[in-house]
Every structure is written in structure tokens, then in C-alpha cells.
């Protein structure tokens, strides 16, 4: 499973890149707002300069024609931009047009197998399942990821499944077990993934024991 960073905060992206574990970035208007980036184009271009893997940028038009126009414009901003298109009727139409133009679509705001299946048939490169938001309303988001991965494998659909709306490190474990191709994780969750109290205790104890040896020898 690959890991994308789910943020529009360039400092977080730079930090995460240094760790060598992320291979893409996903943004959305809420993340742009949180990062204080009203300069949409500049923000996407800055992110694309840091991350050479796919960087997802969302379109906002409600109609297919507007989505396609926006997507064509945004896809000129950098070679590695993927366009986030919502899982709606208009989104399907836009996805099928953009796929024929070789513009990578991240079919987003997906909450059902049917939505993901239609997005894949329309030619989306990725489909983003919002696991946390499903969990929030009492549905098992990760079970859905598992089912979609199984169906895509069964019918040899090439669309990659992104486990999105990740809230905590256990979601990452479950996404990997469910066979998600990608999990897009917030920076704080990425940091939590590497933490283990026994590692911290072990590092401290090795350092202390080494001090004891060197003191005894001195």
C-alpha cells in the first residue's frame, strides 16, 4: 500500500517528503482553507514542485461542462496534477470526457460500491472512499474498501482504490489489510504511525546502558 499525504500545508508536505514514505498528496477546498491558501493555483504548483507523484486538486463546478473546463485548466498547472471529481451524475460525465483526454481523475466523495464501480467504468485513475465519514454515521468504511478492492480485482479494473478520510493509525492498518492501493493520511496520523512506546523505551534504555559502559570504562 502506498501513502499519500492528505493536506494542503506545504510545511507538512516538506517534512513528510524527508521521511521518504509518501508518494502523492491529496487536497480539497477544506484542506486549502485550513492551510490558509486562497491562492489556489500557487498552492497547487508549490505542492507539485515538492511532490512529484500525483497531487489531487478538486474542481468546484456542479455541472459536467464546468468541471471539464476547470479540470482542463488545473491540469495545465503541473504535469502531476490529478483532478478530483465528485461521485455525481455530472461527475461521471466529466470523468469519462477527461479520461479520454488522458487527464487523471480522482473520483472522490465515494461512499458506495456502485459509485466506485461507475467511476472506474468511466475511466477514473483513482477512487477515494471516505472511510472516516462513513464510520462517523455508523457504517463500516473499511469493509467497503475491502469489497471494492475485491470487485475491482475480480473484473480487472485498473482504477486504484484510495482509503481517504483517515482518522487514526488503526485506519491505516485496516486499509493495508483491506488491500487499498493507497491510503491518504493527515500529517498527524503519519506521525502516529511510526510511534511505539516500546521503541521509545528501547532507545532510552540502549542509550543509558551505553552511558554505563562508557562510564565504567572511563
- Residues 128/160, Cβ–Cβ less than 8 Å: no
Strands (E), 134-188: 160-164, 182-185
For ligand E4P, which is the closer residue by CB, 12 or 28?
28
123 CB contacts (<8 Å, ≥6 apart)? 95, 96, 98, 99, 100, 105
Q: Does 184 bind ligand E4P (CB under 6 A)?
A: yes
- Which residue number has the CB closest to ligand E4P? 165
Taking the complex as a whole, the smallest distance from the CB of residue 65 to ligand E4P amounts, in Å, to 23
Q: Which of 107, 126, 130, 152 binds ligand E4P (CB under 6 A)?
A: 130
| Polymer length of the chain | 218
Q: Which of 7, 9, 12, 26 binds ligand E4P (CB under 6 A)?
A: 26
- Note if 84 is an active site residue: yes
Q: Which of 84, 104, 146, 177 is catalytic?
A: 84
Angle at 21 between CA 19 and CA 22, to 5 degrees: 110
Choose the stretch contacting ligand E4P; rule: CB under 6 A; options: 44-52, 93-101, 113-121, 126-134: 126-134
Q: Which residues of 186-213 are buried (b: 16+ CB within 10 A; e: fewer)?
A: bbebbeebeeeeeeeeeeeeeeeeeeee
Give contact residues for ligand E4P (rule: CB under 6 A): 6, 26, 28, 30, 108, 128, 130, 132-133, 164-165, 184
Residues identified as active-site: 84
Amino acid at each position: 500500500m502506498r501513502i499519500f499525504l492528505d493536506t494542503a500545508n506545504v510545511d507538512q508536505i516538506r517534512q513528510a517528503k524527508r521521511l521518504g514514505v509518501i508518494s502523492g498528496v491529496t487536497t480539497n477546498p477544506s484542506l486549502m482553507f485550513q492551510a490558509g491558501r486562497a491562492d489556489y493555483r500557487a498552492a497547487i504548483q508549490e505542492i507539485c514542485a515538492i511532490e512529484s507523484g500525483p497531487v489531487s486538486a478538486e474542481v468546484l463546478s456542479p455541472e459536467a461542462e464546468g468541471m471539464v473546463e476547470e479540470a482542463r485548466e488545473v491540469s495545465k498547472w503541473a504535469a502531476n496534477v490529478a483532478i478530483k471529481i465528485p461521485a455525481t451524475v455530472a461527475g461521471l460525465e466529466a470523468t469519462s470526457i477527461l479520461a479520454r483526454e488522458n487527464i487523471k481523475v480522482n473520483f472522490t466523495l465515494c461512499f458506495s460500491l456502485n459509485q466506485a464501480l461507475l467511476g472506474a467504468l468511466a475511466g477514473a485513475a483513482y477512487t477515494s472512499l471516505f472511510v472516516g465519514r462513513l464510520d462517523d454515521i455508523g457504517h463500516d468504511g473499511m469493509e467497503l474498501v475491502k469489497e471494492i478492492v475485491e470487485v475491482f480485482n475480480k473484473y480487472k479494473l485498473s482504477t486504484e482504490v484510495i482509503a481517504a478520510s483517515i482518522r487514526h493509525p488503526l485506519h491505516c492498518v485496516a486499509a493495508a489489510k483491506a488491500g487499498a492501493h493507497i491510503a491518504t493520511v493527515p500529517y498527524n496520523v503519519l506521525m502516529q504511525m511510526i510511534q511505539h512506546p516500546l521503541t521509545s523505551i528501547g532507545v532510552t534504555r540502549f542509550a543509558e546502558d551505553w552511558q554505563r559502559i562508557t562510564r565504567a570504562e572511563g
